[in-house]
């Protein structure tokens, strides 16, 4: 038996695993120390009441013969698919229920979706980028073209008509830089993808953090995206589902390549490879989109935004360059005094017990930058900002 030899081409371990190892080593050497964790974007607030109530009801349903559910529809419960389609309609984006696929989260889906593209594809990834994009493609044996983004283009690169690709990743609001793609920037990528016969995988996991009205929440706000894009979204950051797991994927019925319809292919894929997301979780997910659920999750997002404001104020006072934080739950800062990003990671961990994410972990052009997540508790974030300011003032 020959295993998938592409694993040899991966970095030795995954970014957030490396960070967890480093912090665990620190804790072993300094038992009982409290760490201010602003590394991985894991939420700190519990699920909102509307969701919890629905989850309880759904658990109760499973206790009785008359309300019990076994296998769920593989592409998602129609109530949730309808609810998500209605969420898009409210923003003026028309998608049908059958174009929505319920998933167990965006990170799972971003890897699984590569099943649609066949072997040895060329994939364009704008970096710095969420490292799972690269890893999933390395495992699949695809060729990755790294498109560097930087301060000079506001971390929003334009398409280069001289480069051909089969698949293009766009994440807006961006993880890790917090940059957002304007309508004009998205239109340029959509036109490029349609011309190249490529497919855009649009990661919209952070759409709920957008503050500015003119920034698109969905790539389908660009009408021509219906022939070239798949949108992958998640309730992890929007509604605190990192440990509960639920997301959704939108594949328009017009999306075809090589005479094959990608919506139909995904139905075929899901019906083979999954037995659907749990009944209980899907019931909880429906509650996110109710009026009450939306009010409650907005409250949580506001708390994270206050965390962001607290960190940004500290960086402003220090005169350190950063971006993000406004339309996204990540702040992307320049490491002070020309420090390398892992060097700065160690410095913060050792000196003030603050954990962030080194920019280099998101690709080579992230070197010299550092990412703070705003998903920590307000108390920890406040203290981390205070410690950071004190340390860097020196
Ligand atoms: C991150 O910190 O980049 C995200 O939390 C990772 C993820 O969503 O899996």
Tell me the CA–centroid distance for residue 106 and ligand 1, in Å: 10
pLDDT for res 14: 86
Question: From ligand 1's centre to the CA of 384, what distance in Å?
Answer: 20
Domain boundaries, the chain: 12-41+293-393, 50-290
Ligand 1 closest atom vs CA 373: 2
- What is the per-residue pLDDT for 12? 83
CATH assignment of 50-290, given 3.40.50.300, 3.40.640.10, 1.10.8.50, 3.30.420.40?
Answer: 3.40.640.10
For ligand 1, the distance from its centroid to the CA atom of residue 39, given in whole angstroms, is 9
Taking the C-alpha atoms of residue 345 and residue 355, their distance in angstroms, rounded to an integer, is: 7
Phi then psi for residue 123, to 5 deg, are: -125, 130
- DSSP state letter for 146: E
Show the beta-strand stretches assigned E in the chain: 36-37, 100-103, 122-127, 143-148, 167-171, 199-203, 229-234, 247-250, 256-257, 260-261, 322-324, 330-334, 354-355, 357-358, 369-373
Structure tokens at 180: 């957002």
Query: What is each CA distance from 389 to 121, 177, 312, 315, in whole angstroms?
Result: 46, 21, 11, 7
Neighbours of 237 (CB within 10 A): 27
Q: How many CB atoms lie within 10 A of CB 46?
A: 10
Give me the mean pLDDT over the 149-168 stretch.
96
- State the pLDDT at residue 359: 97
Q: Whole-angstrom Cα distance, residue 287 to residue 257?
A: 36
SS3 (DSSP) at 230: strand
Residue 20: is its pLDDT beyond 90? yes
Percent with pLDDT over 70 in the chain: 100
- Residue found under tokens 């983004």: 149
- In CATH, the architecture of 12-41+293-393 is Alpha-Beta Complex (3.90)
Task: Tell me the pLDDT tens digit for each residue of 307-335.
Answer: 999 999 999 999 999 999 999 999 999 99
Please tell me the distance between residue 371's alpha carbon and the centre of ligand 1 in angstroms. Answer: 12
pLDDT in tens, 41-80: 999 999 999 999 999 999 999 999 999 999 999 999 999 9
C-alpha torsion angle, residues 65, 71, 75, 77 (rounded to 10) = 10
Nearest CA to ligand 1 atom 4: 41
Taking alpha carbons only, the member of 6, 10, 292 closest to residue 135 is 10
Average pLDDT over residues 144-166: 96
Best residue among 15, 20, 175, 177 to mutate for probing ligand 1's pocket (most ligand atoms within 8 Å of CB) is: 175
pLDDT at 124 over 90: yes
Choose one of 38, 41, 131, 134 to mutate for the ligand 1 pocket test, by most ligand atoms within 8 angstroms of C-beta. Answer: 41
| Best residue for ligand 1 mutational test, from 16, 207, 208, 304 (most atoms within 8 Å of Cβ) | 16
State the Cα–Cα distance between residues 390 and 213, nearest whole angstrom: 36
Cα 44 to averaged position of ligand 1 atoms, centre (Å):
13
DSSP percent split of the chain into helix, strand, coil, nearest 5 = 50, 15, 35
Average pLDDT over all residues of the chain? 97
Q: Which residue's CA lies nearest to atom 9 of ligand 1?
A: 107
pLDDT in tens, 208-236: 999 999 999 999 999 999 999 999 999 99
Res 167 pLDDT > 90: yes
Distance (angstroms) between ligand 1 centre and the Cα of 329 equals 11
DSSP state of 38: -
Res. 200 pLDDT band, cuts 50 70 90: very high
> With bands split at pLDDT 50, 70 and 90, how would you rate the model's confidence at 103?
very high
Give the DSSP letter of residue 98. G
Gap from CA of 388 to ligand 1 centroid (Å): 23
- Give ligand 1 pocket residues (Cβ under 6 A): 40-42, 107, 130, 175, 373
Determine the distance separating the centroid of ligand 1 and the alpha carbon of 355, expressed in angstroms.
Answer: 14
> In the predicted model, what is the mean pLDDT of residues 380-389?
98
291-304: per-residue pLDDT in tens? 999 999 999 999 99
9, burial (CB in 10 Å: exposed 0-12, middle 13-18, buried 19+)? exposed
pLDDT at 269 over 90: yes
Q: Which atom of ligand 1 is nearest to the CA of 234?
A: 8
- Taking the centre of ligand 1 as the mean of its atom positions, its distance from the CA of residue 258, in whole angstroms, is 33
Mutate to test the pocket of ligand 1, among 15, 18, 37, 42 (most ligand atoms within 8 A of CB): 42
- Residue ID of nearest Cα to ligand 1 atom 5: 41
- Which segment of 9-18, 105-114, 125-134, 322-331 scores lowest on mean pLDDT? 9-18
Partners of 250 in the β-ladder: 100, 231
Instruction: Tell me the pLDDT tens digit for each residue of 229-247.
Output: 999 999 999 999 999 999 9
In this structure, are residues 35 and 23 in contact, taking their beta carbons and an 8 Å threshold? yes
DSSP codes joined into one string, 302-363:
HHHHHHHHHHHHHHHHHT--EEESSSSSEEEEEPGGG--HHHHHHHHHHHH-EE-EEGGGG-
């Amino acid at each position: 038996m020959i295993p998938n030899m592409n694993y040899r081409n991966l970095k030795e371990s995954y970014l957030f695993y490396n960070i967890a190892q480093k912090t665990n080593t620190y804790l072993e050497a300094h038992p009982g120390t409290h760490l201010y964790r602003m590394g991985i974007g894991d939420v700190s607030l519990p699920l909102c009441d509307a969701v919890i109530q629905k989850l309880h009801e759904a658990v109760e349903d499973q206790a009785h013969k008359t309300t019990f559910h076994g296998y769920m529809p593989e592409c998602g419960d129609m109530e949730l698919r309808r609810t998500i389609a209605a969420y898009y309609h409210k923003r003026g984006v028309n998608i049908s229920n059958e174009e929505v696929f319920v998933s167990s989260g965006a990170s799972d889906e971003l890897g699984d979706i590569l099943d649609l593209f066949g072997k040895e594809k060329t994939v364009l990834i704008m970096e710095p980028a969420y490292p799972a994009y690269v890893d999933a493609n390395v495992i699949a044996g695809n060729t990755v073209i790294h498109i560097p983004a930087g301060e000079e283009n506001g971390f929003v690169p334009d398409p280069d008509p001289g480069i051909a690709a089969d698949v293009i990743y766009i994440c807006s609001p961006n993880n890790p830089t917090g940059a957002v793609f304007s309508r004009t920037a998205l239109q340029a990528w959509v036109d490029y993808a349609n011309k190249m016969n490529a497919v855009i995988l649009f990661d919209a996991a952070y759409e709920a953090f957008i503050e500015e009205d003119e920034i698109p929440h969905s790539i389908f706000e660009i009408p021509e995206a219906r022939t070239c894009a798949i949108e992958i979204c998640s309730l992890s950051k929007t509604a605190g589902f990192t440990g509960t797991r639920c997301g959704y994927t939108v594949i328009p019925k017009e999306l075809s390549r090589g005479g094959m319809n990608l919506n139909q292919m995904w139905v075929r894929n899901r019906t083979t490879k999954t037995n659907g997301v749990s009944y209980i979780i899907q019931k909880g997910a429906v509650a996110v989109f109710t009026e009450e659920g939306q009010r409650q999750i907005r409250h949580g997002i506001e708390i994270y935004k206050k965390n962001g404001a607290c960190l940004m104020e500290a960086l402003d006072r220090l005169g350190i360059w950063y971006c993000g934080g406004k339309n996204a739950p990540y702040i992307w800062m320049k490491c002070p005094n020309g420090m390398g990003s892992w060097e700065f990671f160690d410095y913060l961990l050792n000196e003030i017990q603050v954990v962030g994410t080194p920019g280099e972990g998101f690709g080579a052009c992230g070197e010299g930058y550092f990412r703070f997540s705003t998903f920590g508790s307000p108390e920890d974030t406040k203290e981390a900002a205070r410690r950071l300011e004190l340390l860097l003032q020196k």
